[in-house]
Each structure stands twice: as structure tokens, then as C-alpha cells.
């Protein structure tokens, strides 16, 4: 039965078999190689691990580039959205300014109308006073005419 795999100094994987009856372990090399004596196998193993690490780092770089690209895209979309919002706010500001000018124009027109109404009220008051004066004169003259008639009628009778 295989209890564990371990890497020996030569860089080759070996199986260690523990016998239940014996306390010694016996090792069997999985692929004996004459090159392992000079360390080529170990070097090849290290190279393979380095290639895997480089591949992993390359994958990480690709993922980072993808994330950066997505961030750039998101930022650009946000930038466009903010520019659109800014343009809308500028239009709203222009509309508000236009409405304020319109309101000011209306206030100026209302003030002119009020001034004209005040002038009309002054004219009406003046004409009322004049009419009142004329009415007083007409009334007095009417009374004089009555008196004259009465005096004449009394003289004639």
C-alpha cells in the first residue's frame, strides 16, 4: 500500500511503501535516470515549476489588464454620464435664468400697470373733485334760479 509520495534529492518522485510487518521502508524509483546523478532532472523540474509560475503570473497580468480595461470602460461610461448630467443641469440653469428674467419682466410690467392705475386713480379723484365742484355750482345756480322764479311768481301774483 502507498502511504505517501515524497521528493528525493534527485528531483524524482519516489514511492515509499511501508510494510506492516517491517519497520523499514522500501523505496522504489518511478523512473530511474542516469542524468539524475548530475542534477539535470532537478533542473528540469525547477524549470517546469518556473514555467508554471510564469504562466500563472501571465494569467494574473492578463486578469489585471482585463480588470483595468473594465475599469477604464466604467470610468468612461461614468464620464459620459456625468457630462450628460452636467449638460442637463446647464440647460436647467439656463431655463431658470430665463424664467427669472421673465418673472422680472412681468414684475416690471405689473409695476408700470400699477403706476398707471395710480395715475388713473389720481385723475379720477381730481375729476371727482372737479365734478363735485361743478355739482355744487350747478346746485347753487339751480337754487338761485328757483329763488328767481319764486320771486318772480310772487311778484306776478
Read off the pLDDT of residues 139-155 as tens digits, 9 standing for 90 and up.
999 899 989 888 888 88
Please write the tens of the pLDDT for every residue from 78-113. Answer: 999 999 999 999 999 999 999 999 999 999 999 999
CB 30 within 8 A of CB 22: no
**pLDDT one-digit tens code per residue, 68-77:** 999 999 999 9
For 6-31, the pLDDT digits (tens) are: 444 444 444 444 444 444 444 444 44
- CB of 30 closer than 8 Å to CB of 15: yes
Distance between CA atoms of residues 96 and 114, nearest Å: 26
Amino acid at each position: 500500500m502507498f502511504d505517501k509520495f515524497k521528493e528525493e534529492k534527485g528531483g524524482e518522485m519516489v514511492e515509499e511503501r511501508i510494510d506492516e510487518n517491517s519497520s523499514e521502508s522500501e523505496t522504489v524509483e518511478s523512473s530511474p535516470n542516469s542524468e539524475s546523478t548530475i542534477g539535470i532532472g532537478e533542473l528540469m523540474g525547477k524549470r517546469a515549476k518556473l514555467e508554471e509560475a510564469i504562466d500563472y503570473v501571465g494569467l494574473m497580468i492578463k486578469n489585471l489588464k482585463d480588470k483595468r480595461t473594465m475599469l477604464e470602460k466604467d470610468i468612461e461610461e461614468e464620464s459620459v454620464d456625468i457630462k450628460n448630467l452636467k449638460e442637463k443641469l446647464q440647460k436647467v440653469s439656463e431655463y431658470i435664468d430665463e424664467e427669472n428674467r421673465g418673472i422680472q419682466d412681468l414684475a416690471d410690467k405689473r409695476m408700470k400697470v400699477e403706476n398707471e392705475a395710480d395715475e388713473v386713480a389720481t385723475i379720477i379723484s381730481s375729476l371727482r373733485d372737479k365734478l363735485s365742484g361743478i355739482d355744487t355750482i350747478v346746485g347753487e345756480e339751480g337754487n338761485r334760479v328757483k329763488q328767481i322764479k319764486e320771486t318772480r311768481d310772487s311778484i306776478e301774483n
